[in-house]
Amino acid sequence: MVVTVERYLRKKYPKEKDSEMLYYIRQKPGDAKVVEIDRFCSGIQSATSLKKGDVRHVLEEFVNQLRDALTRGDKVKIAGLGTFHISIRSKGEVEKEDVTVRNIRRVCVRFICDKALRLVNEANAVTDSENNINFALYTPKKKKDGEPDDEDPIPDPKDDGKDDGKDDDVPDPLS
């Protein structure tokens, strides 16, 4: 399976007005599909002796137990998956006494993946692993007049993103 990526231009420091513009790589918008719980449960059912309904109930209870642990301020570590924890954003105050729980603006659930789940760009990998991801750089089909045709995109699985001297969809900022 290949993950399609594209080049895009943005400021190096988005919040700075005069920041230099650089090209970056991102997953091509619209290509990622959302795996719904039913499909996820079907996959687990086919790999185990559990029924799809049982898997669904386990996953729903997992979410409930995760929420309970996080609302107590605990971290939840699941071997092979990762660790869930909360982070807090608050408004700063000059005086210590002015800081109360009302200063908390947002509570976020964070996830740090386990080492076993970390994915690797196959182009940079030194070993073959089930965690390797194969990326292909998106190249729009050219119209007859030489302009890119964004209506009918075709990813090029042979393009590894390196500049080969040919005219690509966006110029390489480093050349």
Pairing of strands 76-78, 148-156: unpaired
Does residue 171 lie in a domain region?
Answer: no
Any domain includes 172: no
pLDDT confidence of residue 30: 84
In a domain, 37, yes or no: yes
Instruction: Give domain status of residue 170, yes or no.
Output: no
Report the CATH number at residue 125: 4.10.520.10
Q: What pLDDT score was predicted for residue 148?
A: 58
Q: Cα separation of 146 and 132, whole Å?
A: 35
Q: Is 164 domain-assigned?
A: no
Number of domains the chain is built from: 1
pLDDT of residue 150: 53
Please, are residues 135 and 161 in contact by the beta-carbon 8 Å criterion?
yes
95 occurs within a structural domain: yes
CA–CA separation, 7 vs 24, rounded Å? 6
Residues 6+ away with beta carbon under 8 Å from 154: 139, 140, 141
pLDDT digits (tens, 9 = 90+) for 27-36: 998 888 888 9
Please give the average per-residue pLDDT across 6-15, as a whole number: 92
Answer yes or no: is 86 within a domain.
Answer: yes
**Residue-level pLDDT at 37:** 92
pTM: 0.67
DSSP letter at 98 equals G
> Does residue 144 fall inside a structural domain?
yes
Q: Which domain holds residue 75?
A: 2-156
pLDDT 10s digits, 81-126: 999 999 999 999 999 999 999 999 999 999 999 998 888 888 888 8
Which candidate, 132, 128, 133, 150, places its Cα nearest to that of 141? Answer: 150
